[in-house]
Amino acid sequence: MRVTHYKRGMAATEHVDMATSGADRTAERLAAVPGIRRAPTPKLQQFMLPGFLDAETCAALIERIDRDVRPSTIADPNGDETFRTSTTCDLDHRDPLVRAVNDRLHDLTGIPPEYGEPLQGQRYDVGQEFKAHTDYFDPHGADWETYCAVPGQRSWTLMVYLNAPPAGGATRFLATGKMHQPETGKLLAWNNVRPDGTTNDDTLHHGMKVRKGRKYIITKWFRERPWPWTEGELG
């Protein structure tokens, strides 16, 4: 099952079950990680951890992304062909390196592996971007049943920058005005859900244009119910 993004923030107010997967305890778990920084805002739960992955692991993931990229897509298309112009790669979880990184992300959050989507890689060339969007899906959108009927809504997002392009490529959160600059191995985590269980439109963010070089990231999304993994994919 391929994964897309929702295109922009919406007032999606249906309650999200965070307790079953343990995602309701992830913020507390992340806050206890040595060296992690919590965003000083009441608008969203967000954390940043420099050096989560070493340069060698990042380079190996970049090689895998370059080998298998395809055009990125969005859920509920809005007619803007330039809304998301990056390329995407579904990383193979039977690959020992991918499995090791995936295990580290699950260990960091405390969310069991069955609640995670397949790990994705993204590549942004010069001029490419992902305009302001949220990672959660619109329950009233045309693609809700396609992407959420089985695993439900997204809870947490974990993103790791694999390199630092010479210019551009920041991730900007509109509600806080915070610009996160790419740094090799840096992890950025945020909760797509408010404490009351509703989706949080203050997570609206913009993957800004790369001005020079290329930007590579990996992204891990977590769901409120188990993902439909095929037999053997998780080991």
Query: Would you mind telling me the total number of residues written for the chain in this entry?
Result: 235
**What pLDDT, on a 0 to 100 scale, did the predictor assign at position 166?**
97
Q: Which residues pair with 218 in a beta bridge?
A: 121, 160
pLDDT, averaged per 10 consecutive residues of the chain (235 residues), comes to 40 77 98 98 98 98 96 72 87 96 98 97 94 91 90 97 97 96 98 95 96 98 94 74
CA distances from 155 to 116, 150, 176, 190, 198 (A): 10, 14, 20, 9, 10
Residues with Cβ within 8 Å of residue 69, at least 6 apart in sequence: 87, 88, 89, 121, 123
Number of domains present in the structure of the chain: 1
- According to DSSP, the residues that pair with 6 across neighbouring strands are 75
Residue pLDDT, tens place only, 73-126: 767 667 767 788 899 999 999 999 999 999 999 999 999 999 999 999 999 999
- Residue 233 belongs to some domain of the structure: no
Q: Is residue 230 part of a domain?
A: no
Q: Are 192 and 219 in contact (CB under 8 A)?
A: no
Output the domain CATH number for residue 141: 2.60.120.620
Evaluate whether residue 234 is within a structural domain. no
Q: Is 110 left (phi over 0), alpha (psi -120 to 50) or beta?
A: left
What is the C-alpha to C-alpha distance for residues 162 and 159, in angstroms, rounded to an integer? 10
As given in the structure block, the two tokens for residue 20 are: 């079953």
For 168, the domain range is 5-223
Decide if 123 is inside a domain: yes
Q: Measured in whole angstroms, how far is the alpha carbon of residue 29 from the centre of its chain?
A: 18
Beta partners for residue 40, in sequence order? none
Residue 229 inside a domain? The answer is no
Q: Hey, CA dihedral for 15, 107, 201, 31, is it positive or negative? A: positive
Sheet containing 171-173: which strands, arranged edge to edge?
130-133, 205-207, 171-173, 178-180
Indicate the pTM of the whole model: 0.91
CA dist 161 and 50 (Å) reads 10
Tell me the two tokens of residue 235. Answer: 């080991």
Residue 183 maps to a domain = yes
70 found inside a domain: yes
User: What's the confidence (pLDDT) of residue 216?
Assistant: 98
Residue at 231 is within a domain: no
What pLDDT is recorded for position 214?
97
Which pLDDT value is given to residue 235? Answer: 66
42: tokens are 């009441």
